[in-house]
Amino acid sequence: MSASTHASGSSVAPFRNEPYADFRDEAVASNAAASFARLSAGLGAAHLLLLDGEWVDRPEHFESVNPSMPSQVVSRHAKATVEDARTAVQSAAEAFSQWSQTPPAQRAALAFKVAALMRQRKMDLDALLVMEAGKSWVEAEADVAEAIDFCEYYGREMLRISGSHPTVPQPNERNELAYIPLGVGVIIPPWNFPLAILCGMTIAALVTGNTVVLKPSSDTPLIAVTFVKLLLEAGLPPKAIQLLTGPGAAIGDALVENPKTRFVSFTGSKAVGLRVNELAAKPQPGQIWIKRVIAEMGGKDAIIVDAEADLDAAVSGILASAFGYSGQKCSACSRAIVDASVYDTVLAMLKDGAEDLQVGTAETPGIHLGPVINERARRNILNYIETGRAEARLLSGGEAIEGEGYLIEPTVFVDVPSSAKLFQEEVFGPVLAVTKAADFDDALRLANDTEYGLTGAIYSRNPEKIARARRDFHVGNLYVNRKCTGALVGSHPFGGFNMSGTDSKAGGPEYLLLFMQAKSISTRI
């Protein structure tokens, strides 16, 4: 592929996904350890809100802790108030008139600059994700690489869709379509991809000419502060982004309900996503638009193992999808649906594979599972495991691991009926439910027996069955003979059906249009 030239006159190389560092390399491992030590030396520092272009403190604060060692305070943060939420939206609204008129090429250049800064500091960012989010080095590297990808991809997409687009010609008319920004966007990202998803949502809003009020998760606020500082270093006007840290649904509600809020971009649980949608749908006094909601919510993702599958590949894909980042992904495989003819063989392979997985603190080289994010999540997952003991048969795991961190064994339940909570409800932890299917038709029926529709996978060598799955497996991201996690920007536009969200297809060619509105212009000539 050759580089393309845009209206700005600048040449931009074709998009390519950011490569991953190999932590088996001694030099890479040494750099990682040095970054972790450097980060550890600065633990406990206080961080402020970015409000109306200034860094400001508040009387109340909260702490971010290391999920591998909860007694270790990573950072302290100012706790925003409802009044701060109102100020943030007002300031972002005032900044919109200037930022929205910034040339698209300049906004794209900002995205490219942020990508370059993250690339330069990748190992430090990895270390921060290991410490604050409890990610293994491999998972942290993938998170940072995806954040870089979002900047590079959305910058190029903005250049592609900027300017006017011709429409069907009419006699004596010049007709065109132009895409313009929406206004103030409230960005509410999750803790499980605290850099990648936060970055992707925020950069998409900014590169399209909107201003942003960012309300990150209270489990990973330092990552958000670090990213906002990168934006400012890259040249973003300070008032174009407002950063509000702090727990509390009241702040989120105030941001969503504000009449000057034009859109909300949310990634998180089904319950909160539905509340965001409900609040945004109700017009407030002085509101002159219908608010747009871009929502990515939960999943109850299934991998089908057909009688004609490569079982080694299938089991490897299930284990990676179910237990990567301790199952704390909306795309995680939480259900394995296995054809009866290979069921017992697959169970034996899953048991051996799960018991070979290494669990430990996130910074430990070579681990497969680190901690879950906090004590509340730990209790919730252990409650699901107790429920599973009554609903199904425990094959492997099932216990919390002694020690300070929030560690749980990779857990596999088998003979799980489709009526069980383990089959129907999102656990968001290292728990896999395995169900026997009578045949391929039954496997498809079971896979679709959920209110969600995010990701899914099928392992089969049969082209006709694969074709059936392509047509009838009702998910937004379907994978054939590979795991159901690890969507790559540009290659696997990501978003789900049903209660999994609004199918926004992040990292795809239509995503930026969700942050813009189309203006049709006809000129008599």
> Which residues on adjacent β-strands are paired with residue 441?
none
In whole angstroms, what is the distance from residue 257 CA to residue 429 CA? 32
Distance, in Å, from the CA atom of 298 to the CA atom of 70, rounded to the nearest integer, reads: 26
Q: How far is CA 139 from CA 31, 406, 495, in A?
A: 16, 17, 20
Who's near 12: CB < 8 A, 6+ residues apart? Answer: 3, 4, 6, 108, 112, 155, 156, 159
Integer Cα distance of 199 and 201 in angstroms? 6
Phi and psi based region of residue 456 (left: phi greater than 0; alpha: psi -120 to 50; beta: remaining): beta
Q: Hey, what are 66's tokens?
A: 């290391």
Q: Catalytic: which of 330, 363, 391, 409? A: 330
Fill in the DSSP letter of residue 206.
H
CB 96 within 8 Å of CB 164 = no
Q: Other CB atoms closer than 10 Å to residue 90's CB: what's the count?
A: 16
Candidates 160, 109, 133; CA nearest to 374 is 133
The count of other CB atoms within 10 Å of the CB of residue 4 is 13
Catalytic residue among 296, 363, 391, 425: 296
296 catalytic residue (yes or no): yes
The residue count of the chain comes to 525
For 378, the token pair is: 């730990």
Q: How many CB atoms lie within 10 A of CB 276?
A: 24
Q: Which residues contact 498 (CB under 8 A, 6 or more apart)?
A: 450, 451, 452, 453, 474
**CA-to-CA dists, residue 106 to 111, 512, 514, angstroms:** 9, 16, 20
- Please list the active-site residues: 296, 330
